[in-house]
Amino acid sequence: MSRRIAATLVLAAALLCSQACSGGSDDGSASSGSNTFEFWSFTGINQKADVDRYTKAHPETNIKLTEVGSTSETAQALTAALAGGKVPDLVLIQGDDLPKFMSSVDNFVDLNTLGADKMKGDYLDWVISQSTAKDGKIIGIPTDVGGLAVAYRTDLFKAAGLPTDRDEVSKLWPTWDAFIGVGQRYVQATGKAFLDNAPTSVYFQAINQGNERYYNNADHKASYKTNPQVKTAFDVTLKAIAANISAKQGSFSSGWTAGMSKGDFAVVSAPSWMLGSIRTNAPGTAGKWDVAAIPGDAGNWGGSFLAIPKRAKNPKAAWKYITETQSPAGQLDHFLLTGALPTTPSVYADPKLVAQTDPFFSGAPIGKIYTDSVTRLKPFYIGPEDGTIGTEFLNLLTSVEQGKVPPDKAWSTAMTNVEKAIRG
């Protein structure tokens, strides 16, 4: 058992004990009424703001929010809870972690019984299909998709003698090789790092731009060893690492947050939801950022689902939260407030979305940028171990970037690590 998994199970046990041992709602004693429900989310997305906004509109509602940890830690805590512990009434599951729960759909409420059958047509087909079982049961309602783009510091680009206009910047890097070349120009001109880190800002973008990722679309068998798109994304990341253009600051780490404010790097690959992280972590840089096209082609990073475990004590209150916040109107409002891209295509032509610009990002037309990315992508099958496989690739590439694994051993080591992780 890895240290990370062991630590997560300890966290899950602590969660279960802190709720059940303190008179949790298994017997209904903790519930102050049908408007009270427990909500598990992951960190880094400011879920509290959404909850506060909802409870302000519905003061009779009491939402007990727990931000469990990272996306994978939240999924692991949920797995432990489903195995016999106390479950929340509502849980947010990141898209790459969803397939493992789709293998046991009976652990969740079939949302069709609450009305999902009447609203499933509101969502992008390729997204709602991820939470729909073969027998038609729906266990999750999609909250957002990411789209792909690049956030960059216009002031730092200007100091490096690079263009600052978003259209001109987009033309600088039609490919990932060109992107790396721009990074080398920046480093040569400034002596500073170009991007935050290569594993997330290069690999995790490039791997999400193909028409197949870790599983074959036709037979749904694992293909990460043989899919040339995986190897290409892996190799271009090694090339970015070798070019020494990275600040080597892992996404969402304390160094990453501090470096964003201090200008330690000029570029961050940014799906729509990442814009909120930049605003939160570097408020003093307002107006110094802009958003350009991603190298390569369209794609998506991110997206989550709200689900209700079968043993939830207040499923109706949780469902009311879902239906209001994840309706087309609710997702549009959320986009206008946070920039998180809706999964409801009916709002993509809404004048409010199309005209949405962001003053923090130099007036970038974020509605158009991100919907263009999502509507052009090629959906691929996401398998049951997709999240595990992706995590192992990212961890290995991070080890290479930090000098802990030689580049010439990277691919073989990644294959070994992935196989061990899948076997558990």
Per-residue confidence (pLDDT) for residue 360, from 0 to 100: 96
Please, what sign has the CA dihedral across residues 320, 325, 326, 332? Answer: positive
Do residue 101 and residue 221 come from a single domain? Answer: no
Residue-level pLDDT at 33: 54
Looking at residue 301, its amino acid is: W
Structure token pair of residue 38: 């427990």
Same-domain status, 392 and 313: no
Q: Are residues 249 and 385 in the same domain?
A: yes
Residues 174 and 77 in one domain: no
Based on the fold, state whether residues 28 and 54 are members of the same structural domain. Answer: yes
Q: How far apart are CA 201 and CA 181, in angstroms?
A: 15
In angstroms, the CA 230 to CA 261 distance is 33
- Domain shared by 380 and 307, yes or no: no
Could you tell me the two tokens for 134? Answer: 């073969």
Whether 127 and 198 share a structural domain:
no
Q: Is residue 133 located within the same domain as residue 262?
A: no
Q: Are 179 and 233 in contact (CB under 8 A)?
A: no
Per the CB < 8 A criterion, the answer to whether 401 and 198 are in contact is yes
Determine contact, residues 15/68, Cβ cutoff 8 Å: yes
Residue 348, C-beta contacts closer than 8 angstroms, at least 6 positions apart? 342, 354, 371, 375
Find, among 10, 17, 68, 44, the residue nearest to 274 by Cα: 44
Q: What letter does residue 95 receive in the DSSP assignment? A: G
Residues 53 and 100 in one domain: yes
Per-residue pLDDT at 297: 79
91 shares a domain with 189 = no
Pairing state of beta strands 150-153 and 62-67?
unpaired
Decide: 265 and 249 in contact? Cβ < 8 Å: yes
Say whether both 155 and 263 belong to one domain.
yes
Q: Whole-angstrom distance between the N-terminal and C-terminal Cα of the chain? A: 7
Tens digits of pLDDT across the chain (424 residues): 333 333 444 344 444 444 444 333 333 333 445 889 999 999 878 899 899 999 999 999 999 999 999 888 999 999 999 998 899 999 999 998 999 999 999 999 999 999 999 999 999 999 999 999 999 999 999 999 988 999 999 999 999 999 999 999 999 999 999 999 999 999 999 999 999 999 999 999 999 998 999 999 999 999 999 999 999 999 999 999 999 999 999 998 999 999 999 999 999 999 988 998 899 899 999 999 999 999 997 888 888 999 999 999 999 999 999 999 999 999 999 999 888 899 999 999 999 999 999 999 999 999 999 998 888 888 899 998 998 999 999 999 999 999 999 999 999 999 999 999 998 7
DSSP state at residue 108: B
Whether residues 54 and 129 fall in one domain: yes
Q: How far apart are CA 303 and CA 296, in angstroms?
A: 21
- β pairing state of 36-41 and 62-67: parallel
Range of the domain at 73: 3-145+302-354
Integer Cα distance of 309 and 78 in angstroms: 9
Give the count of domains, the chain. Answer: 2
Tell me the C-alpha distance between 104 and 109, whole Å: 11
Strand partners, 290: 152
Q: How many other C-beta atoms are found inside a 10 Å radius of the C-beta of residue 279?
A: 18
Give dist(CA 159, CA 152) in Å, integer: 13
Listed in sequence order, the DSSP H helices in 163-253 are 166-172, 176-190, 198, 204-206, 228-242
Alpha helices in 83-159 (DSSP H): 98-102, 125-128, 154-159
Task: Output the six-digit token pair for 102.
Answer: 């789709």
Q: What's the CATH code of the domain at 216? A: 3.40.190.10
Rg, Å, the chain Cα set: 21
List, in order, residues 6 or more apart from 134 with CB less than 8 Å away.
none
